[in-house]
Structure 1
Amino acid sequence: MTLPFFPLELCEAVIDHCHDIRPSLSACSLVSRSWLPRSRSHLFASGITLTANNIRTFCSLMDSQYCTMAPFIRSSVIFLIRVSSFLQLESLLKTVEQAFISNRLRISSITLVCIPHQLLHTSQLVALASTLTSLSLIGTLWYDEKESFSLKARRILDFVISFPSLETLEIGYETPGRIVPYTPLVSVSDCPRLSLPRLKRLQLGDIPYNAFLPWFLVPGAVDFPNLRFLSFFMGHTTLNVEPHLIQELLDRICAPTVETLSFWYLWESLPDLDLGAFKELRSLELYACSGDKSYYTKLPELISTVPTLGRVPLTVSVSEDSAFEPPAIDGVQWNP
């Protein structure tokens, strides 16, 4: 006797009702093949964190003929810290890449932590370009007499342009204890063209801005037509960024479309910036994580540069400080 099929919506409602009862979810996953995806989505996270300690185990599981988790993996953090040698690190990364590619994982989000920039230009992760929408690159750039910080930045951007479907991009390469002075680019003939038509969120961590931003500012090198959110973090020293580079980036690339602008500072005061070119700015976030609150005196002047006439109110958020009393400014709402 053939039993009637329940509507998929009803089946998923039953599974969702058991979302925090693991034995019931396990039972649901065995009802039929159509019940498996929804049940697994509650039983297991869609993201995996891979380290030097568990990469081999993960790859062994993926190679098993009984493995069922591959279709459900959507995001990954590859965290390779305290690896004994560069060759071992390279081997681990290649092992992960092969597992991703051979199992045809449809990864939409990847975070690479402590992956040397030298490995990016040979990385096979570019095979995920058709599905990847979120990329985070977090690590350290060390001084090297053979390669300038500007060329290191160029290598990283060359890797980024391999993923044209990105909607979120984070770059967070620090240079501990190293001041990177601004040096104009000698040649821009082979400048990477950073065309990311779907990019909505750009987060720039405590990077050597003096090395990265000149590549962004080459005429015609950057195309972010849908950029809505921009975040800067300048934590260790403002000597790694020339204010005029930030101003040019804001005016030429961000002002036409950005709706939310965020600045994070440590130990240093806010530089003088003019936000008059912004057309769609709705939210301004200003955070200084230090005991020095002198930068508050600059806030009214900075905010007054934002055109507010005939627009929705500008929402301004600042660091928590009970001693700060937001001034009344036309067209501005302070976020408590």
Structure 2
Amino acid sequence: MSTVTTLTELPRLPWELMDAIIDHLQSDLPTLGQCGMVSSAWLKRSRHHIFSTVQLWPWRIRDFLQLSASKKCTFSSSIQRVELDDSRVKPGVPCIQFMDALSLSPLSCLSQVEAIQIRSVDWTALTPTEQAKLRHRFAQFKMLKLLEFDDVTFHDLREVVNIMNSFPLLKHLSANVCFMKYTEHAVASASRLRIPRTIETLELGTDDGIPVVLTSLLAQSADPHVTRLNLRSLKAQHLPYLSTLVRRIGSHVRHLLLGMERTSFMNVDEGDYIRALKLSRLNQLRTLQIEGLKFAQKPSILEATLPDLISRLESPFLRCISTTFDLDALEDLKNFDWKNLQRVLKELYFFGLKNVEVHVRVLAGASTADATCERVESWIRNALKELDQNDALNITASLVS
């Protein structure tokens, strides 16, 4: 006698395990689509990953917004992040630029969005009236917490601050921007502006953005509200701003990323460099990341002073130090002062440091033929073996073109 097994009799996995499986597939869109056809429960979890980030490039934005605004649309509530980029065009395909898209499209279906990234947009092409209308449209994103500008042009910082003030819950600002005004004029204007006190994270990485936004931040007389600073493409000319930053709000910073533009520091005096950073003032620091370093035949000031720089840290809350190096040849690893670096890191480990991360970008080329990722990791692990023996060392090496 044959036995027929019904769907309700099939063994069921715990919901927590099913969620974990679907979460593991978050970057595999075809498989997530198949998961969504299994059941309504799987559909909801799969949609969370499929539609959590939508990229509204100019050639697809009209159809997407019309679909998401439809009463029959069932995925709009899953959208958490929107990315717009005017440079993502397709030859021969009708496109809608960023400004027109926000002006003509209903945004109520996206009111729950928490993050927006805007790239390759010229804000100066708008009249003051058009800018005001655009801010009004932006205000419909009532839940927005993260705003990113990448390669966006403004007249000065005033419009950036006006846009930020449209979002009462905004916590993170990424301002990789440039200004039409000369830097000196943009800085002078920024000194009279106030960044909203809801902002906790600032990410800057342009010649204009770093001095101008930091000037506005440091001009505020109330207690500092920014606790996480990500500063990339730092040049020697930014050292005075960095020095003032550390002196004024260093005791409030919890997480600091310094991405150095190595070539600009070639002629900087070591003493001036160390004094400008003055990491001893970061007495509440939890994590420190330093990028832009390089293993080279002749170390620059950035590599030569790294042990001394880190030794100035006095925060009892420090938990992680992360460094990122470029590497041309395996032989260049021998030119770095591993002994002093290990000594400094061991002292910090004794006082509470939990994790030391060393990330190496092995630059592809004839000179790196012997510098396989495995050999690089093994070499560094041996150079810092006392930290490795205490399970405090995490090394990753990756090949980049």
TM range (shorter): 0.7 to 0.9
Q: Which runs of 5+ in 2 are unaligned?
A: 1-7, 26-30, 328-332, 359-401
Q: Residue type matched to 2:213 in 1?
A: F
Match of 1:126 among 139, 163, 168: 139
Deviation at 1:307, TM superposition (A): 1.8
2:198 corresponds in structure 1 to 196
SS at match of 1:26: coil
State the distance in 1 between where 2:21 and 2:189 align.
62
Deviation at 1:232, TM superposition (A): 0.7
Q: Is the 8 A contact 2:147 2:172 kept in 1?
A: yes
1:94 corresponds in structure 2 to 103
State the distance in 1 between where 2:55 and 2:48 align.
17
Q: Residue type matched to 1:191 in 2?
A: L
Q: Residue type matched to 2:243 in 1?
A: Q
Change (3 A) 1:206 1:82: same
1:260 corresponds in structure 2 to 255
Match of 1:141 among 153, 162, 167: 153
2:336 corresponds in structure 1 to 324
1:22-171 mapped onto 2 (5 Å cutoff)? 22-23=33-34, 25-29=36-40, 36-41=43-48, 44-81=50-87, 89-95=98-104, 98-101=105-108, 103-118=109-124, 121=132, 122-123=134-135, 124-129=137-142, 131-141=143-153, 147=155, 152-171=156-175
Deviation at 1:276, TM superposition (A): 2.0
Q: Residue type matched to 2:159 in 1?
A: R
String of CA shifts for 1:90-131, please: whole Å, max 9, x gaps. Answer: 212323xx4322x253101111112333466533112213x1
Q: Is the 8 A contact 2:145 2:172 kept in 1?
A: yes
Q: Which runs of 5+ in 1 are unaligned?
A: none
Of Structure 1 and Structure 2, which has the larger fraction of its residues in helix?
Answer: 2
Deviation at 1:304, TM superposition (A): 3.2
Select the structure with the greater relative contact order (CA < 8 A; seq sep ≥ 6). Answer: 1
Q: Residue type matched to 1:173 in 2?
A: V
1:180 corresponds in structure 2 to 183
1:220-299 mapped onto 2 (5 Å cutoff)? 220=221, 223-224=224-225, 227=227, 229-234=228-233, 238-239=236-237, 241=238, 243-253=239-249, 255-266=250-261, 267-269=263-265, 271=273, 272-288=276-292, 293-295=299-301, 296-299=303-306
Q: Is the 8 A contact 1:171 1:207 kept in 2?
A: no
State the distance in 1 between where 2:18 and 2:310 align.
51
Q: Is the 8 A contact 2:36 2:43 kept in 1?
A: no
Count the aligned residue pairs.
Answer: 300
State the distance in 2 between where 1:257 and 1:187 align.
21
Q: Residue type matched to 1:94 in 2?
A: S
SS at match of 1:110: strand
Which is worse superposed, 299-308 or 164-173? 299-308
Larger Cα Rg: Structure 1 or Structure 2? 2
| Cα-Cα RMSD | 3.7
State the distance in 2 between where 1:13 and 1:82 align.
38
TM-score (norm 1): 0.73
State the distance in 1 between where 2:114 and 2:160 align.
19
Identity of counterpart residues, as a percentage?
19
State the distance in 2 between where 1:138 and 1:184 align.
19
